[in-house]
Structure formats: structure tokens, C-alpha cells
Amino acid sequence: MNADQLRHSSHEALLAQHLKAYFGELEPETLALLRQSLQWVEIHGGDTLLTQGEPGHAMYLVVSGRLRAYVLAEDGSQRPVGDIARGKFVGEMSLYTDEPRAATVVAVRDSVLVKLNRPDFQRLLTQSAQISVAMTRQIIAQLKGGKPDQRPGLAKDKVVTMGLLPVTAGIALVSFAARLQTQLSAMGSVCVMTRNEMEWQLLHMGLELTGTFDNEIQRHIAILLDDIEARHDFVLLLADADATPWTQLCCRHCDELLLLADTNEPVALHPMETRFLMNRPALTEVTEILVLLHPAQKQAPRGTAEWLARRPVAGHVHIRPELDRDMARLARIQSRTAVGLVLAGGGARGLAHLGVCRALQEQGIEVDWVGGTSIGAVMACYVASDQPPERVMANARAAFGTNPTGDYNLLPMLSLIKGRRLRNILTHAVQDLMGFDADIEDLWKNFYCVATNFSRASEQCMQHGSLVHALLASTSIPGALPPVIHGTELLCDGGSFNNFPVDVMRSMRGVGKVIGVDLNIRTPVQVNHTEMPGTWQLLRDRMRPRDQRLYQLPSLPSYLMTVTILYSMSRQRSAQALCDLYFNPPLARIGMLQWGHLEATVLLGYEHAVQVLAEKDRLSQ
């Protein structure tokens, strides 16, 4: 089989896979009708396929390669809104609505597509009910505000070809790739391709790989890589240790480029980064991920911000290559099957998160991403630190053994609580947990927390900067605790906008499944009197034992804490629908300020999680 025949065969095999995945088993006559209507299209990396605002005359299916969609921002720049991987349609909305293209679509790398023109599209809808139903289902999903094939539990933008590029000395690339291959093999077939392997493949085609790649050599390499992609779920391209033509090809031909850095080496840019990756046109960039490698015994990463400041990467991952569970985490992120854990806010009730996390660990459920709001952010920090459970519990007991919100203001000008005690508690907890005053980026597992930007009246997702500062912002309940100054703006508790930020987790890179721990109490608050008591009546009533009080009213701090999350509570049902596994511990007897019940609250979370997981196992069986 010559090169052109190999390429055609590979593309035909890939197209058949994509059509089957999209339409299901088609009748032979229907499949033949569909194939006759499709035209092959090739596009080079950096070329524009669709332009925002232009009329839409055709739709496309990505057979191999990768595209990226951009929309025009208010400042005139092109803002990326998502990637279109192989097996995905692009441009179909305009054929249904007759509206102009909603985005500009550019090839991230050399790509092969099939094109369906408007007349053929309309003819297929009238002649095949099966095709019409499949297409209409996808369009309805988009018109309802979702994205096709973006239901909980499904991968968002599968990455097939990954380039592995060492950007420091000291990288055992072949060994690292073998470890990653082992973990990825649990999700599908994997091919590792080095320059030596490519030379061997070319020799079998009668070609010799020289120091430079002429157009003919590049064409044959592209054909071989297309064939390899057609036969594997994942392809790892191992770049050379220096700036060779093969290294350049690895950087250009991948869906995602992993920059591997040994953190024991200097932070400075590698010559290959400045030669191949910097100063490229804005719309031709392959997504770059910085993979920071650490020794297995390291307590916590340090100085991550310095590594990130030098590189315009889309994200980072901390990995201890000697630990299988770290390599498995990287594999899940890269295969878009990572597990995200979301922890809701709820004052002292948030201690129940520790019990749920203990139950998850006992069941062997690994968590790759962590996020939360308010006390949920603090508990998420424990998970992201990846410290032993006994160390986490000791830290939590030391931090919350006393009331962190007990330093009341005698003259409450801005807040009822001074907030100094909470700041000291969080500062000491982070120092003890991490060993230093860490940034968010220094956590082993990727982390975010949600705060409310008071200055902009908007939700703010915090993923960078001081960890203590972010936790304080996310926990600063309006009226109860003072706001946090962030640059020139004021931040406060994230519960005002998003107390259970599952939707944020759904947008994180690599997350395929989400576990949510909600603290919302569904029981409505009932009162047994018709008039509100006066100040002295309430004071005298509070002096009675709790079970003898006449007025079942919340305290002022508790009232303020609850009011701030009422809007978020109204979104509970939609947030719950985004969870693949949902926990809602029974915490009605635990007040939002009852910090003295740490052990009992943790136990309630643990017992609830054990029960939910047992029920899940029973149903699956």
C-alpha cells in the first residue's frame, strides 16, 4: 500500500468510526446516501475554516486534527471559547437558523474534515428520518443552552495526540512516557512515537529521514501519523532533547503539548521554548500544559508561580513520577476522565466534608480537581494538599477546635466579627499543612475557590495567588466578617453568587465526572409566633436553655450567613443535576456557628457518605 492509499484508508476508517458514533448503526442505503454527500477538505494549522459574521453555507465534521473556536471580544481581540476535536461537527447551527457564523474557527494543527453543503444537508433531512433525528437532537441541545454530548460524565474535548517536550535538563523522557502509557492504557490503546520509531517507519516506505525535513518527508510523516491516530485512542509524540526538525514536528502536530520540567532545575526558558513556542501567531497555538515533576518524598511544591510566569500555558499539573497515583491523575486529566470534587459552603456544617472525603478515600475513589466556596474552599484545600488523612484531621482539630468567628466587634462599623482570629487560624493552618506560606498553584491537586467581587457585583473564581488570601475572601460573609481587599477591589464570601460551584468544576480542563457535597438544609424554618419579639424579650429568651426557648429564631450572625446564600440555595436543583455523585449530609441539628461539634459533624458526613456509596454499589450490582 503506497502513502496515498494508506492515508485514504486511514481517513475512511476514522470517518466510519465518527459517523457510527454520531448516527448509530445506519441502514446501508442511508449510509451510502450520506457518504455520497460528503466532500473531503484539508486545512493547514493556522488556517481559518469559518469566519464570525459570514453566512453559513456548509457544515463540517472533523475527521482528524483539531480546530479552535474564537469570538470577537469587546476590546476587539479574539477570545477562544473551545476546541473542536475529531469526531465533532462544526457550523451546523447556521444551516438550521440561516444566521451568520457565531464564531471564527481556526485549525490548531493540520486537519482533515468532510464538508456537507446546504443543499445536500436539506436533502438528507428529507430523505432519512434517522439522520434528521440525530442532527435535530444535537441542535436542540445547543438551543437549550447546553453543548452537544456535554452531559454529565461525558468527555468534553478528547485529546488524541500529545506532544511530550522536555524544557529542563534531567528528564527521563522515555521512562516518563512509559509510565504515562501504562496509565492511559486503562482508557484505550496507546502508541508512543519517537524519532527513531518514525525513521524505521519511513525506511519501510523507502524513505530516509535526514537532518532536515523536506516537503515530501513531512507529507509522509503526516500520512503515517494520521494512520497511527486512526488505530489508537492516544498517541504520545516524544520530542528530542534539542531543537531538531522532529521536535518542531512534535510541537506542531499534537492536540496538546506537555512541557515537562524538573523542578530541581532552573526556572529559565529552554532554548526550544523560545525557538518553537514563543512569538507564534495568536490563533495558531497548540494548547500547552506545564507538567512540573517532583521527587516522591516532597511535602509540597514551591515557587510554582515563578514557573508559570515565564510561560503562557493553559494550565499546570504537579506530578511525582515515581507515584503511580500521580501518573494516573495525569492520565485521567489528559483523557478527560478526571474526577472533580466540589464542596459547598455552610459554616460549621462544612466540617462534614472531612467525613465524606474519608469515606471516598476508603472506597478508593481518587479525586483529581477540587473546588469549593467558603468553608467548602477551606476543606477543599485539605484535599488538594494531598496530605495523609491523620495529618489533615490533626490540622483541622487545631484550626477549628475553637470558634474561628468568636472575636466580635464591640463597635460593628463594617462587620459583626473582627476576622483577625479567622485570618490567624487560616495562616497557621496553611503554614502547618504546606510548610510555608503557599500560593494556590502550590497545591498538589488543581484547586479553585469562589468569592464574590463586591466592587463588580459578580462571581470571581480564584485559581492564582496567595492561598490564605483566597480562602479569606471566599469565607468573608458580608456583614459578619470584613471584606478582603484584592488589588483595588473588595471581595467577600462566594456563597452570595455560587455556594455550590459545580458548574465551575464542569468547565475545568480534563474533568469528566463531578462529585458534589452539598450542605443545603431542605427543612423550611418555621416560627411559632405571629409578632417579632423586641430586643429585651429576645435577650431574656436566649438566656433560657435551648429546648425551653419561646422564639425559634436564628442568631444575627447565623441569619446573615444564611441570607447571603439564599440565591445559591435556589440553584441547588440545577447544581445537583450536574453531579455524577451527590452527597447531602443530614446536618439540620448542627448550627452554622457550632464549631465545637467538630467530631460529631465529621462523623455525620462520614456515615452519610458510607450509606450513599453502599446504595450506589447495590444499585450498580
Average pLDDT over residues 21-31: 80
Here the cell at position 480 is 459578619
Average pLDDT over residues 503-523: 91
How does pLDDT run across 175-187, given as a tens digit for each residue? 999 999 999 999 9
How does pLDDT run across 55-80, given as a tens digit for each residue? 988 999 999 888 989 998 877 788 88
Average pLDDT over residues 348-357: 96
Average pLDDT over residues 26-52: 88
Average pLDDT over residues 532-553: 81
> How many CB atoms are closer than 10 A to CB 310?
13
Return the top range by mean pLDDT from 103-112, 196-205, 425-434, 479-488: 425-434
> How many CB atoms are closer than 10 A to CB 84?
25
Residue 617 has pLDDT above 90, yes or no: no
Buried b / exposed e across 574-603, counting CB within 10 Å, b at 16+?
A: ebeebbebbbbbebeebbbbbbebbeebbb
Here the cell at position 114 is 468532510
Average pLDDT over residues 340-352: 95
Nearest to 61 by CA among 46, 80, 44, 40: 40
Q: What is the pLDDT of residue 199?
A: 82
Here the cell at position 86 is 475529531
Query: Which of 211 and 536 is assigned the larger pLDDT?
Result: 536
d(CA 176, CA 288): 18
Average pLDDT over residues 258-275: 88
Residue 1 has pLDDT above 60, yes or no: no
Q: What is the pLDDT of residue 404?
A: 87
CA distances (Å), origin 109, targets 83, 192, 228, 284, 365:
12, 19, 16, 8, 36
The beta strand positions in 218-255, using DSSP E, are 234-238
Nearest to 361 by CA among 393, 336, 388, 381: 388
